[in-house]
Amino acid sequence: MKPDGYDQHLTSLKSTRFLIKAIVNDMDLNTPLRILFYVSLFMFVFCFWLRLYLHYFGQWLYLNVVAKAPYLTFEPNAVIVWVQYERDWLTFGHECGVVISGVLINMVVFAMFVFFIWVFQCVRVKVPGVGSRFVVLFGVNTLLDPLLILLVDLCYARWRDGDAFKLYWNSMRTEQHGVYGVLTTVMIYGWAFLLTSFLLYYFILYVFMNGQIIDIFRRLHGDEEKFYVPNDHQVSQAEMLFAVDKSLRYRGKGGELRRLLVVEYEAAGDVSKKVQHFIIYTVEVQDGVIEEDERGERRVVVKGERVVKQVYRQFV
């Protein structure tokens, strides 16, 4: 017996693996000899720097507008931006705002990219593939933003000024222990990771490449019942009349004929509702004996003036 939620969990795993494979194949990340691989690599590096500068710009903007921090400087470099300010003047809440603002501005920009492409898709405007790939790569950089900032801070030995250590030292200065600051930092980064993951997952599955991924996924992993179309065998009345006329004029090489049988049914308790059943079948002549061949039978059900179902189709 399967546990509760097993099917949903299995579907999530399938979709996650499918998304990873689809993105890798779409960007040719597994074929370094193709030009699209280098285009994707260039866009990833560009998104890396864009994320970096947006991160520290968000912190500078918060310190300048909200916190009103004194002695504020902004010095961008190749892989790091030095945002210097008087840290002893800031409270724990202001320091939390500094940590949040760097991650938040990237999330907001990523959400704006997703929203714009989603709007284009809703108004039936086809977005170029390079635009969708750029948004995905920027989303991946946004997802990894806290980790990338931490790695850069460790490389530059920013034990006191790094984003991951700011709340610890502020908590040590105000409350004489840094556990509260560490837990707050983990909570901030955890929520940022979850929200960005959800947004990136939604974009790749439903919006990326004009919905191509979700269409392929449903075709590959959908249940058989979901592909059922109720009126898949429906034909027009003109097509039915054409088939009837053609069958009445049909003559086979061996003298075969086609006959039309019309059966009319009345709905139980309602004489006004009638259903007509048209049956076309082949009649063969062998040694002077007429034989009816039911293998070539075609049945059409008509309700009123509308053909609602075609059971077998061969003679058109």
> Of 226, 256, 289, at which residue does a domain stop?
226
Which residues have C-beta within 8 Å of that of residue 172, sequence separation ≥ 6?
178, 181
Which stretches of the chain drop beneath a pLDDT of 50? Answer: 1-6, 9-10, 289-290, 294-296, 305-316
**Residues 280 and 147 both lie in one domain:** no
Residue 199 contacts residue 139 (beta carbons within 8 Å): yes
- Domain containing 89 equals 6-226
> Of 168, 195, 226, at which residue does a domain stop?
226
- Taking the CB of residue 140, how many other CB atoms lie within 10 A of it? 19
| pLDDT recorded at residue 208 | 85
Residue 220 contacts residue 18 (beta carbons within 8 Å): yes
**Residues 91 and 141 both lie in one domain:** yes
**Residues 73 and 216 both lie in one domain:** yes
| pLDDT recorded at residue 266 | 72
**Residues 254 and 206 both lie in one domain:** no
Closest by alpha carbon to 95, among 145, 156, 169?
A: 169
**Residues 29 and 100 both lie in one domain:** yes
Domain count along the chain? 2
Task: Specify if 19 maps to a domain.
Answer: yes
Helix, strand, or coil (residue 215): helix
Helix 92-122 to helix 145-155 angle (10° resolution) is: 130
> Of 226, 248, 266, at which residue does a domain stop?
226
